[in-house]
Amino acid sequence: MANQLSQLDQVFAALADPTRRAIVMRLCAGEASVGELAEPFEMALPSFMKHVHVLELSGLVQSEKSGRVRTCRLSPEALVGAEDWFQHQRAIWEARLDRFEAYVMKLKKERAAAKQSSKATEKTTNKPSKRKGTE
């Protein structure tokens, strides 16, 4: 669990750099050697290798050396893990919106009821409209 959290740290930190995001995007399209990956960047190779290394540490990328060429591929589990984090937050957020809306509805109802009781007998219990989007 704590380990998983620090994994999230590493994944987000890895993705905070545009070079590394570009590498991930490239690898989504298929595996590639370090040289192929590095080619579009102006950076010196050792600098570039650091990025690859960060991606490996984060679990986003795996690599394997065969002969003198190191081939990198995406290992999407870490990516999915991070995506899950967002979905979880969104679920909580949306549940809260729902609760908030329910609360507003309850207030409306109570106010209507108060009006009713003061005005004595008049039935206007208008149904609340359904969710109006994500805001």
Which residues of this chain interact with its own copies, rule CB under 8 A? 5-6, 8-10, 12-13, 15-18, 21, 24-25, 28-30, 74, 76, 79-80, 82-83, 85-87, 89-90, 92-93, 96
> 71 - beta bridge partners?
33, 64
First to last CA, the chain: 33
Q: Which partner in its own copies, DNA, none is near 109 (CB below 5 to 8 A by kind)?
A: none
> Are 26 and 35 within 8 A, CB to CB?
no
Residues 19, 86, 54: CA angle, nearest 5 degrees: 30
Give least dist CB 128 to DNA, A.
34
| Residue among 40, 42, 27, 38 nearest 72 (CA) | 27
Q: Which partner in DNA, its own copies, none is near 19 (CB below 5 to 8 A by kind)?
A: DNA
Sign of CA dihedral 47, 49, 55, 60: positive
Give the residue with the Cβ less far from its own copies, 26 or 70: 26
Q: Is 6 in the site for DNA (CB under 7 A)?
A: no
Give least dist CB 83 to its own copies, A.
4
Chain positions contacting DNA, by CB under 7 A: 13, 16-17, 19, 33-35, 38, 42-47, 49-52, 54, 65-70
